[in-house]
Structure 1
Amino acid sequence: MALSYRARRRWSLFVLLVGMPAYVVLAVTLLSHIDRLPFLAEVLVYVAVGIGWVFPLRFVFLGVGKPDPDQADDDAPARGASAPPPER
């Protein structure tokens, strides 16, 4: 089932504001229980954990920064965009 544009925007905000900090705390807590790895291995583990959250949630963030495709009036400026200045 595909999420609507509005639902994806809300879920992406939730993931960034709530899910991401929770994931960081969980990842650091779990990785602190592992014995100290060699420096390069530890860097690779942290990079993998840092990128690992993106792939399962990629569908939530697709197209969120673009204008709403379901917007009724295509000529109207996007929400938050300013109208062009009047000509003199």
Structure 2
Amino acid sequence: MALSYKARKRWSLVILLIGMPAYVVACVTVLNWLDRPPFWLEIFVYLILGILWALPFKFVFKGIGQEDPDASK
């Protein structure tokens, strides 16, 4: 089942306004449990986690910045 443009736009806002801050807090908490790792490891972990959050939501964000394809012209 494909999401409509309007639904994808709404879900993208929910993900960015609620999900992203929660994910950032979770990532920082996990890194704090590591008891201040070396700088290069910390940067590497943040880079990997920064990419990983977007992969499951790729289909939601695809085409959101463009005009509604279903809108009548």
Structure 1's unaligned 5+ residue stretches are 74-88
What is the distance in 1 between the residues matched to 2:55 and 2:13? 17
- CA displacement 1:15-63 (0-9 Å, x = unmatched): 1111111111111112211133222111101111122111111111000
Q: Which residue of 1 aligns with 2:3?
A: 3
Partner Cα distance (1:41, 1:30) in 2: 13
Partner secondary structure for residue 57 of structure 1: helix
The structure with the largest alpha-carbon Rg is: 1
Structure 2 equivalent of residue 26 of structure 1: 26
Structure 2 matches for 1:1-80, cutoff 5 A? Answer: 1-73=1-73
Task: Please state which structure has a larger fraction of its residues in helix.
Answer: 2
5+ residue gaps in structure 2? none
Whose RCO is larger (CA < 8 A, sep 6+)? Answer: 2
Query: TM-score normalized by structure 1?
Result: 0.77
- Partners of 2:57 and 2:39 in 1: how far apart? 29
